[in-house]
Amino acid sequence: MKIGVIGYGVVGQATAATLRLIGHEVFVHDLNPQRMAAGISDGLDRRAEANDVEVDFLCVPEGHLNEALDGLPTESLAVIRSTVPPGTTDSLAAYFSRPMAYMPEFLKEATAQWDALNPAFMLVGTHDATQGDLLTRIFAPLLVPIIRVEPAIAEMVKISLNAYLHTIISFWNEIHLICERTGLASHVVGKICSQDPRVPSYGATMHGKPVGGRCLPKDVTQLINFAGELGYSADLLKEAQRVNAKLAENAAVAGEQVRVGGDSSSVQRRNGPVPLAA
């Protein structure tokens, strides 16, 4: 099948490589000359030169979706992959008068290609059964569960998942700040707690540094703002942000450049341990 990938950053590259590996013909477009050149170097043809493309995966940030959709042939099914507030896909479909669906990615930057080829599940957000069948057929070779729901549900799943990951790390960062005041090892506490099947190891064994990466902090802010537009104050998420900001400030005072979670696990220490919270 002929498939377009719009945006050739981390998500676009992983999406394009996966689609090629499972037998599809992939075309790429990116306004950034360096990324576009990387796509050509990887053996991909330009999207503008392709005819009869059935699906275009939009692998661009939310703020660039309108730009990506402008000029894109309306015959193809445009599929958003980035985190967006619930209702975005339907709004854009109506505005551009074109078929659209939502199929979020669940990738970590450091292991994006592996994650794209080995997902726990895939999520298809569409109102149209034919569109759902098409997207299911595209990714069927991965042999993983494919869940089909309406776009707004899929959008809420994606933003909620990232907000949860941010919050659970922030919870363990709070425990870490408490343990520091008593000389206890928070990672030992977390590891033992995670032996309880109700407690995930994510966060429990990976904490003590600010939540980082390109996605988790941004997506928590996006969900807080979305809730605010509905007249609801997402106080728990705001507090998770506050704990993260406290650790970031402490790290800056200590001369560190550290982050944990999200789509990056890189850590670089320059001075001593993170100081106690005020």
- Annotated catalytic sites, by residue? 215
Q: Which neighbouring-strand residues pair with 94? A: none
Q: How many CB atoms lie within 10 A of CB 196?
A: 9
User: CB under 8 Å to 219, separation ≥6 — which residues?
Assistant: 83, 159, 162, 163, 166
Phi, psi for residue 155 in degrees, rounded to 5: -65, -40
Q: How many CB atoms lie within 10 A of CB 220?
A: 25
Which residue type is seen at 250?
A: N
* Rounded to 5°, angle at Cα 76 from 95 and 55: 120
